[in-house]
Structure 1
């Protein structure tokens, strides 16, 4: 099975020999790839919607993997028992949806060694939630697909603090590794931020002024980050 660049990059983060659960699996591409390529001996896939759940079962059956991939219908990790898996994959969802899934199943997460998260939106909220909930961000990656740049966050249990909270906006691990797509990611965030600022300047309410102040701070931080992108991170963290 050939994965798209985004899914291939996510699959590459799964440790060999681990038992992953892919939340919101859709067509079950990642579990099938991991098991067929003997990266993982077995996997679990969950889906909250009946249609995608049935498609996932059909895909698993077509690949002859019904005994190795367990597809379950249910809400996020609610259909997982503690200890059944040691890696959680949640990809292709908004950041707030990812946070809600994690919040609902603390007993399952207590037995998880690694979170592999790929939020489509609100990446800053995901990073902030992780660091405020007993996790540390072990690594991050960027991948380009169809002119879009996707952010992948790897988190493990631990304590971590950032001196500059603007690194919730763009993970400092990306600066540490001088990721080749980092400059383009910053450019895109600058463009979005500039557009928001222009709209906020047309509104004169207390809430809009407060948001404008935040967006202007964000814009200047991103500009400075772009200037320093080839020099590594300008921050300190406690791991």
Structure 2
């Protein structure tokens, strides 16, 4: 094994930091292959399959993997999502830096393969509520979350674990629909753990909504939407100020 170490950006290091130790993993949309290399070099994963839908990034990933002498531990595959993976071949799927609805589509396109996964490491660039709601509906529980501020952008990410392989919802009788919607938007673990980057995000998001509110005062429907979002921000702050993330 070559001695050269891969150094990840703060965002990708945080993504890699959510991967449970000792699992086999696939990195969907691997780009340059750096996450796969890091996971093997740091002895987090014994084996990784790095996939991409385009040959260009996959070829670069292959060069980097060969350059550090890890071809025996990291396999590259040209694949559209989970297409070229067999059910049960890996325990953990990583999908970072793509839209939330695309992540949902990747998981929904191959139900048998999704149901064979124990862990999902997801870093959606958008549509967080869609992703978190989908995970709950398909029998996954969010175990850990993190949020990174890098180059002026906020990047939330999560580790979800399958608790109901049949894909049936895992209801929580103590949560009402509104509270659930807040957690889907802002992150249950981020709220509960009073994540400092989430506080910074709420400051930024609230300031943006207040600016928008001044511009839409004469448009009642849009004004109502912005005022509702400001109410949700205040409610999340109240939850974070309550020990254990108490009820709104």
CA deviation after TM superposition for structure 1 residue 112, in Å: 1.0
- Corresponding residue for residue 198 of structure 2: 182
Give, in whole Å, the separation in 2 of the partners of 1:101 and 1:188.
31
1:75 to 74, 77, 80: 80
Give, in whole Å, the separation in 2 of the partners of 1:58 and 1:83.
27
TM-score with structure 1 setting the length: 0.88
| Structure 2 SS opposite 1:46 | strand
Give, in whole Å, the separation in 2 of the partners of 1:160 and 1:34.
34
| Structure 2 SS opposite 1:83 | coil
1:170 to 164, 167, 186: 186
- Corresponding residue for residue 21 of structure 2: 16
8 Å Cα contact 1:201-1:212 kept in structure 2: yes
Give, in whole Å, the separation in 2 of the partners of 1:12 and 1:144.
16
Question: Which 5+ residue runs of structure 2 have no aligned equivalent?
Answer: 1-5, 164-169
1:133 to 126, 129, 138: 138
- Corresponding residue for residue 43 of structure 1: 48
8 Å Cα contact 1:136-1:160 kept in structure 2: no
| Structure 1 SS opposite 2:70 | coil
CA deviation after TM superposition for structure 1 residue 199, in Å: 5.7
Question: Which 5+ residue runs of structure 1 have no aligned equivalent?
Answer: none
Give, in whole Å, the separation in 1 of the partners of 2:113 and 2:215.
43
Are residues 1:225 and 2:236 paired?
yes
Give the alignment of 1:1-239 within 5 angstroms.
1-158=6-163, 159-161=170-172, 162-163=175-176, 164=179, 165-195=181-211, 197=213, 209=221, 212-232=223-243, 233-235=245-247
CA deviation after TM superposition for structure 1 residue 53, in Å: 1.3
Give, in whole Å, the separation in 2 of the partners of 1:153 and 1:200.
34
Change (3 A) 1:137 1:235: farther
CA deviation after TM superposition for structure 1 residue 23, in Å: 0.5
The alignment's C-alpha RMSD in Å is: 2.0
8 Å Cα contact 2:147-2:157 kept in structure 1: yes
CA deviation after TM superposition for structure 1 residue 56, in Å: 1.0
8 Å Cα contact 1:94-1:119 kept in structure 2: yes
Q: How many residues align?
A: 231
- 1:131-175 CA distance string (max 9 Å, x none): 122222122111222232210111112324442222211012112
8 Å Cα contact 1:137-1:155 kept in structure 2: yes
TM-score with structure 2 setting the length: 0.85
